[in-house]
Amino acid sequence: MSEDARLREAICRLARSLFQRGLTGGASGNISARLPNGDILATPTGSSFGDLDPARLSRIDSQGRLRDGDNPTKEMPLHSAFYATRQPTGAVVHLHSTHSVALSMLPDVDPDNVLPPLTPYAVMRLGKVKLLPVYLPGDPAMGEAVRGLAGRRSAVLLANHGPVVAGKTLDAAVHAMEELEETAKLALLTRGLSPRLLSDAQVADIVERFGVEWE
Cβ atoms of residues 174 and 92 within 8 Å: no
Question: Which residue among 3, 9, 75, 182 is the active-site one?
Answer: 75
- For the chain, how far is it from start to end, CA to CA, in angstroms? 40
Helix axes 141-148, 76-85, angle to 10 degrees: 20
Compute CA distances 151 → 31, 89, 137, 146, 179, whole Å.
19, 10, 22, 8, 20
- List, as one string, the DSSP characters of 18-61: HHHTTSS-TT--EEEEE-TTS-EEEPBTT--GGG--GGGSEEE-
Identify whether 135 is a catalytic site residue.
no
Q: Among this protein's residues, is 121 annotated catalytic?
A: yes
Q: Within 13 A of 13's CA, how many CA atoms are on the CB side? A: 8
Q: Are 130 and 149 in contact (CB under 8 A)?
A: yes
Active-site pick, 3, 9, 83, 121: 121
Report whether 93 contacts 31 (CB < 8 A).
yes
Active site residue ranges: 75, 121
